[in-house]
């Protein structure tokens, strides 16, 4: 598989300014951060607030530029101004607040916004909007006003708006943080579907460990660095092994799914369960084995 995103030795500082806009202090958000992401993979980027997740996301599609280091998206350097639109087309971004990223007053118009910006011909836009709305299951709401939609529906419209630009990769920055459980489920389903059926690379930034259960790869960030990565460069081999380190995750201010937590607690109390049980089904199977 080819590398879609190659980030090498990134440094990025947040500037803290005083009232007169002079830089008072800097706070490192990324320090010597390197990460490569395979085309077509589903990567979950975890970490508590301020660990540098969102900063990295904004460097991928050139919303910000690194102080040091390089980011290549499909081989294009984000520093190169000429490829700016191409990069943003290839790596689309969905944000946390559903209300603050929908621009138009009609769902289909909003989905068309991106393609319109990059000068796609009219017939083609119509086709893409149609396709994108179907892919996220929002076609029935095509002519509705965004104000009539639930949070989860708005997020799916936002995703459709990116899909209509035919991206290689979608970066979702905590897309479910403001949603209710139904909305969360629908959004995640849509995202997984896009990954499986369309082969779109997904970078999902989240606080919820439950959302990482089905990812191909989990990267945990801390202090602008990688604390854990399931791709094998560090010690952890699979997402499951990351989940098995319950104490580590707690130290990184993450919560494990309750089933994993229960398995961990029982193991500590002397029940010989394996580490990193993720689902109820696995749990029942493991407990059955012990009964025999």
Which parts of 151-210 interact with other proteins (CB under 8 A)? 151, 158, 161-162, 165, 177-178, 180-183, 207
Count of residues that bind other proteins according to CB under 8 A: 73
Binding positions for other proteins, 240-259, rule CB under 8 A: 253-255, 257-259
Out of 76, 126, 213, 234, name the contact with other proteins by CB under 8 A.
Answer: 126
Q: Does residue 2 belong to the site contacting other proteins (CB under 8 A)? A: no
Which positions from 18 through 57 interact with other proteins, judged by CB under 8 A? 48-50
Q: How many Å apart are CA 184 and CA 153, to the nearest integer? A: 10
Q: Which residue lies nearer to other proteins by CB, 108 or 236?
A: 108
Chain position carrying tokens 């229960």 = 262
CB of 232 to other proteins, least distance (A): 26
Q: Which residue of 6, 34, 104, 238 would you call a contact of other proteins, by CB under 8 A?
A: 104
Piece of the chain touching other proteins by CB under 8 A; list 24-32, 144-152, 220-228, 235-243: 144-152
In the complex, what is the shortest distance from the CB of residue 233 to other proteins, in angstroms, rounded to a whole number? 25
The one among 40, 52, 66, 115 contacting other proteins by CB under 8 A: 115
**Closest CB to other proteins among residues 2, 19:** 19
Rounded distance between C-alpha atoms, residue 153 and residue 162, angstroms: 14
Candidates 1-9, 70-78, 145-153, 190-198 — which segment interacts with other proteins by CB under 8 A? 145-153
Residue with Cβ nearer other proteins (10 or 273): 273
Tokens 């949070």 identify what position? 151
**CB nearer to other proteins: pick between 162 and 231:** 162
Options 8, 106, 213, 234; binder of other proteins; rule CB under 8 A: 106
For residues 222 and 162, give the distance between their C-alpha atoms in angstroms, rounded to a whole number: 29
Instruction: Evaluate whether 107 touches 132 at the Cβ level (below 8 Å).
Output: no
Which stretch, 7-15, 30-38, 70-78, 276-284, contacts other proteins (CB under 8 A)? 276-284
User: Can you tell me which of 40, 52, 146, 175 binds other proteins, judged by CB under 8 A?
Assistant: 146
Please report whether residue 76 would count as binding other proteins according to CB under 8 A: no
DSSP run (H or E) holding 49? none
Edge-to-edge strand list for the sheet holding 68-73: 23-38, 3-17, 68-73, 76-77
Q: How far apart are CA 217 and CA 135, in angstroms?
A: 24
- Of 59, 93, 132, 203, which one interacts with other proteins (CB under 8 A)? 93
Cβ neighbours around 265 below 10 Å, total: 12
91-94 and 169-173: which strand pairing?
parallel
CB contact at 8 A, 63 and 3:
no
Under the binding rule (CB under 8 A), the answer on residue 99 touching other proteins is yes
Name the CA dihedral angle for 141, 146, 149, 153, rounded to a multiple of 10 degrees: 70
Give the Cα separation of 98 and 142 in Å (integer). 17
DSSP state, 140?
Answer: G
48: DSSP letter: -
């Amino acid at each position: 598989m080819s590398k879609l995103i190659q980030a090498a030795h990134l440094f990025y500082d947040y500037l803290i300014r005083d009232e007169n806009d002079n830089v008072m202090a800097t706070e490192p958000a990324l320090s010597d951060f390197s990460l490569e992401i395979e085309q077509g993979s589903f990567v979950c980027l975890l970490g508590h607030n301020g660990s540098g997740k969102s900063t990295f996301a904004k460097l991928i599609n050139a919303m910000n530029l690194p102080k040091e280091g390089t980011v290549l998206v499909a081989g294009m350097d984000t520093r190169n101004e000429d490829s700016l639109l191409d990069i943003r087309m290839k790596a689309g971004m969905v944000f946390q607040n559903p209300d603050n990223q929908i621009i138009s007053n009609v769902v289909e118009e909003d989905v068309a916004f991106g393609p319109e910006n990059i000068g796609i011909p009219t017939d083609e836009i119509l086709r893409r909007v149609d396709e994108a709305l179907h892919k996220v299951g929002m076609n029935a709401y095509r002519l509705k006003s965004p104000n009539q939609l639930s949070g989860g529906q708005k997020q799916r419209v936002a995703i459709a708006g990116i899909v209509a630009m035919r991206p290689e990769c979608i970066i979702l920055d905590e897309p479910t943080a403001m949603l209710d459980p139904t909305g969360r489920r629908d959004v995640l389903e849509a995202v997984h579907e896009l990954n499986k059926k369309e082969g779109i690379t997904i970078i999902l930034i989240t606080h919820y460990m439950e959302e990482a259960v089905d990812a191909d790869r989990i990267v945990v960030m801390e202090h602008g660095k990688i604390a854990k990565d399931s791709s094998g460069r560090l010690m952890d081999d699979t997402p499951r092994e990351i989940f098995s380190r319950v104490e580590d995750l707690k130290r990184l201010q993450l919560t494990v799914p309750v089933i994993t937590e229960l398995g961990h607690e029982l193991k500590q109390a002397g029940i010989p369960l394996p580490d990193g049980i993720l689902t109820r089904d696995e749990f029942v199977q493991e407990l059955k084995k012990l009964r025999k």
